[in-house]
Structure 1
Amino acid sequence: MSTLQQRPQTSSPLPAHSPGNRWALGLGIGGLLVAADTFVVPDPDVAGLCWTAGFALLFAATVVVVVGHVHARGDHLSALPTSTAGWVALTCFAAGAALLFTPVGELSLVLGLVAAAAGVSAVSVSRERSLPVIMLPLLSGTFVLAFLLGELLIGHE
């Protein structure tokens, strides 16, 4: 019997208005506002801090939404991945982190995006409930997004 067949299947829709969703919305709006301060703050050091803090808040909002989704469908969080997509997400995250400061560091950006996509797929399609699969690949995806948008919108001097 597969892991998906062992878990209880819920036929009721997920609640749309839970306290976690309100927290996530507040964190997300706060993250966008703090990241947007980057463009109005004259000091480059403070602007960089605003950019980083804004994306940290967006990451926290994403984790709150995903953990709330896992709890809403009746699953409990676990430590180890329970699906193939979860293992793929963690493996891509680990490989991307290992390659980050090597001569092929650009490959870590691609692996970060693949890890984030596999993590979202694992949670939504494979009913993954592993906290490391939820947090680490989403962290790498948030980092890649912040880095790429920072290079495109702000650049460096």
Structure 2
Amino acid sequence: MNAARLLAPVVSTLAVCAYGLVGRSRLDPDASWPERLHRRWLPTLAAPAERWLPGTAAREVSEDEYALTLPLPPERVDRRLHERGFVRHPLARVKTREGVESVGSWVLLDHLLAPRMLHAMLFASEDGGATHVYAHEEYSSLNPLVAYAHYAGDGQSAAAGVARVRELLA
């Protein structure tokens, strides 16, 4: 068994504990610390982890993950996502679009240990007045039983994520 197969459930278990301690109310649109963690600290930690746990370094979103553009600034889209049950996902790997980092990472889970999650990534338009939303559905990084599949990218579906996000936000 390789190191990633052993490490993924450990990282997942630690993440679940962190989410449990923080609580849903501290992962809302008013919380600024999750995005600071996501955009500043996580890349610093992810670079060395990539050696043992592939799938932790930043990655460019693909065009098939594009869901829609909302004529709202990211802060308003944050609120809309939260109203629909999403929580910030500060432990997600950083996503980029044309070299620019996302301004928000949100997930929708049926429950904390759900086997699958819907992941929405937000990118501000150049003037900040609109938000480009990208999405995919995938195995949950928080469930230790499927964490390795998540990091390996197994079973990720851009089509399912895009359809679900369009349904929830359009």
Is TM more than 0.5 here? Answer: no
- Please give the range of the TM-score, normalised by the shorter of the 2 chains: under 0.3
- Higher strand content, 1 or 2: 2
TM-score by length of 2: 0.27
Larger Rg: 1
Higher relative contact order (CA 8 A, sep 6+): 2
TM-score by length of 1: 0.28
